[in-house]
């Protein structure tokens, strides 16, 4: 199995999402020792945000493309190839300002590619990345999974939408929320997420 492990939390060693994605990846490796892991840290090695120059360079002659843009396009291809090769993807996704990190959005813009991961047909859009498992490690300072505050969730809801658009329906959420409410709330939320991860029946993996 090919596992793609993505981190986007900006807090380094203090990041709860990084702690939990590491636990998920370790659990997968324990269950399937032959798993090949590709790791991408979108903070340590950020992708430039998509621009018109990137889009035009994809269809331009090599000699007409700026060297830096050409390098960015090559990296974009590598990102897409990693995603296409993955059977299971682990995404570390902290909630920032009710949404996801801009670093992760830049990554999504590299994998949502017409003709590669989706296409438009006479019957409407069709996702081409079917058969993948995505485990979203979602961390939040407050509580947004239920109640009136759920309307402010543009993090998990966005990911489900864009991944579904790409044809991915096997999406599992490992969530730790209420992290900023109190020290006790943080400990409880992390412990519960780690319990879910350690439960071998909780993470149904791609074959």
Residue set of the binding site: 15-17, 95-98, 139-142
* Cβ contact 73:58 at 8 Å: yes
* Cβ contact 125:119 at 8 Å: yes
Q: How far apart are CA 129 and CA 112, in angstroms?
A: 10
Token pair for 126? 């069709």
Strand order in the sheet with 170-176: 36-41, 2-7, 88-94, 133-139, 170-176
Q: Which residue ranges make up the annotated binding site for FMN? A: 15-17, 95-98, 139-142
Q: How far apart are CA 83 and CA 5, in angstroms?
A: 10
């Amino acid at each position: 199995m090919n596992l793609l492990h993505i981190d986007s939390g900006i807090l380094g060693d203090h990041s709860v999402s990084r702690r939990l994605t590491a636990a998920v990846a370790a659990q997968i490796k324990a269950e399937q020792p032959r798993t090949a892991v590709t790791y991408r840290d979108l903070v340590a090695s950020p992708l430039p945000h998509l621009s018109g120059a990137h889009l035009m360079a994809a269809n331009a002659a090599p000699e007409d493309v700026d060297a830096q843009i050409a390098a960015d396009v090559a990296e974009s291809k590598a990102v897409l190839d990693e995603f296409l090769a993955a059977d299971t993807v682990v995404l570390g996704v902290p909630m920032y300002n009710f949404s996801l990190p801009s670093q992760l959005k830049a990554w999504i813009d590299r994998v949502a590619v017409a003709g590669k991961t989706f296409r438009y047909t006479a019957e409407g859009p069709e996702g081409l990345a079917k058969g993948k498992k995505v485990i979203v490690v979602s961390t939040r300072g407050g509580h947004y999974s239920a109640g009136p505050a759920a309307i402010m969730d543009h993090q998990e809801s966005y990911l489900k939408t864009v991944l579904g658009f790409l044809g991915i329906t096997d999406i599992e959420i490992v969530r730790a929320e209420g992290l900023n409410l109190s020290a006790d709330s943080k400990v409880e939320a992390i412990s519960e997420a780690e319990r879910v991860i350690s439960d071998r029946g909780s993470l149904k993996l791609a074959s």
